[in-house]
Amino acid sequence: MSIIGDVLSGRLRQEMRQRVDEVLKCGNEWSQTAKELIEALNKLSGTVQKGNPDPSVFKSVSRAGRKLAKETARLTRAFEAHNNTLEKILTRYG
């Protein structure tokens, strides 16, 4: 199909919209997880300063760190998919 056909049918726009939505969703989830890790680290700092380390705080930092690593991988995949889509469009129409 030609570029005019792709634009008129909305295929190009739909795919770009889908990729952007995916990146935004992953970015929001990553941001929320980063905030959770910051909170956990602040709690850890507080307990260490008081000299009363709580084992549950260590677990929450560990859990938040693993979750952030997972969300980072998802965000990276979303950016890569978006980049691949853009490369295909540029190759085809550029």
Q: What pLDDT digit, counting tens, does each position of 42-63 carry?
A: 999 998 888 888 888 899 999 9
User: Can you give the pTM of this predicted structure?
Assistant: 0.76
The full set of domain ranges for the chain reads 3-93
pLDDT of residue 90: 81
User: Cα(33)–Cα(39) distance, rounded to whole angstroms?
Assistant: 10
User: Cα(79)–Cα(28) distance, rounded to whole angstroms?
Assistant: 13
pLDDT of residue 15: 85
pLDDT-derived band of residue 8, with 50, 70 and 90 as boundaries?
Answer: low
What single letter denotes the amino acid at residue 26? C
Contacts 24+ apart (CB under 8 A), 20-26: 20/82, 22/78, 22/81, 22/82, 23/75, 23/78, 23/79, 23/82, 25/78, 26/71, 26/74, 26/75, 26/77, 26/78
pLDDT tens figures, 11-29: 888 888 899 999 999 999 9
Average pLDDT of the chain?
Answer: 88
CATH code at 3-93:
1.10.287
